[in-house]
Amino acid sequence: QTSLEEAKAKFAQALAADPQFQTAYLHSASLKTNTGDIEGAIEDYDAALELCKTEADAVDVFTMKNQVVAQRAAIKFCHSGVDYAFDPTTAEAETPTGTGGDEELD
């Protein structure tokens, strides 16, 4: 096993032993994000959100989750084949070719 696989296994063990261990969900989500398991990271952030005790804590976790959701959207967009033009002289973006610009990426 690589050290990343070992780390994933340790987080899984920690969460099996204590499903209320919010910090383990957060670190697991970060590891999954950095290794390309975006959906797994989002699941871990959702679990961590359920364990928030304060509004400030929830805002922090929600912000982290939203960064991963935005990353997922960017990955999908980059793989969509859509040609998106940006005119730096006007600082305006043109509607992606072939779309009305309102489509969901999911």
Task: Note the pTM of the prediction, 2 decimals.
Answer: 0.73
Tokens 């398991």 locate to 37
Model confidence pLDDT, tens digit, residues 16-61: 999 999 999 999 999 999 999 999 999 999 999 999 999 999 999 9
Q: How far, CA to CA in Å, does 31 sit from each of 45, 64, 106?
A: 12, 13, 23
* 93, containing H or E segment: strand 92-93
Q: In the structure encoding, which two tokens stand for residue 25, read together? A: 């969900």
Beta carbons within 10 angstroms of residue 24's beta carbon = 22
